[in-house]
A = this chain, B = another copy of it.
């Protein structure tokens, strides 16, 4: 079914997203949305672009809608905020059908509903490739969880697996959706990353709020960002023994003769939460799925399993999503 008009798309969208929400005094349909007065608002924006962040070859439209919103909500979780609403900018190429869009909105609304989030506005345009840009906002409690508040001696922790999404990406690039059969967890980590909102909210209740971020570019690249404050570069001594890594990551490392810990630290887009705080805080909070991986140190060096770790990771302008030309290079 061809896209005939903005009005038809908006009508389809309105079947999945309510205009009313307790956080909105006025929702979609005017030049601006008007927010209800809400203290301690925080906001984040992320791009989700075809052939950069996802491929239609192996993302269902529901997956695209889900992940586009998930990567944004993850930023709220990383600050200990409760999601409230979002705006959605959509650039649509001519080959996107109304049924594709309907499935896309459906996948997105599942996650929005799970977090009781409103779609407050946005924009639509034709575009050469499928382009999604989202701004989310949410409400912090007393503790806004920043990066850069770590202190030497703090426990470093992860909530969620790392390195798995990159393996899912690699397998999906090679095998398409057939990869889901042998690599279900890795593919799910890439297609439908878990959003750790409840963990973020629980961490925000700590007496001394943890330093926290989500791991989007890989532990090797993101851990120094967590530990860096204005004039300080603390280091870390972390351990990633094999029994702490996901069985699919271990299987992948075995098949391709890779170091499992290396695979775990370079893989991005897992959206695990990475943080640091005193060990006694962790004990008091008892967050499900939280795993201590090491300790903040005085030096700026990052040591993993006893070896110094160079800052290697993912830069959108240096490294790229594997394409068919470079596919063999990703394994």
Contact = CB atoms under 8 A, between A and B. Distances in A.
Interface in A26-42: 26, 29-35, 37, 39-42
B317 A123 contact: no
A43 B78 contact: no
Contacts of A326: none
A325 to B, nearest CB: 15
Given A91-B131, A125-B47, A127-B52, A317 B30 contact: no
Contacts of A91: 47, 49, 52, 131
Contacts of A281: none
Contact of A26 (B74, B125, B131, B144): B144
B32 A78 contact: yes
Nearest to A317: B3
A44 B49 contact: no
A214 B31 CA distance: 8
A77 B68 CA distance: 30
A79 interface: yes
A129 interface: yes
Contacts of A214: 31
A272 interface: no
A262 interface: no
Contact of A126 (B32, B52, B124): B52
Interface residues of A, number: 67
Interface string A290-331: 000000000000000000000000011110100000000000
A211 to B, nearest CB: 10
Contact of A316 (B25, B52, B126): B126
Which interface residue of A30, A32, A46 has the most chain B CB atoms within 10 A? Answer: A32
Contacts of A29: 147
Given A32-B76, A75-B31, A131-B91, A41 B41 contact: yes
A192 to B, nearest CB: 20
A121 interface: yes
Given A25-B144, A32-B43, 6 more contacts: A29-B147, A34-B41, A45-B123, A47-B89, A47-B125, A87-B135
Interface of A: 3-7, 9, 25-26, 29-35, 37, 39-47, 49, 51-53, 74-76, 78-79, 81, 87-89, 91-92, 120-129, 131, 133, 135, 137-138, 140, 144, 146-147, 212-214, 315-318, 320
28 contacts: A3-B317, A5-B317, A9-B317, A25-B144, A30-B147, A32-B42, A32-B79, A32-B81, A32-B138, A33-B43, A34-B41, A34-B79, A35-B42, A37-B41, A43-B120, A45-B89, A45-B123, A45-B133, A52-B91, A52-B125, A52-B126, A52-B127, A53-B125, A89-B133, A91-B131, A123-B133, A128-B128, A133-B133
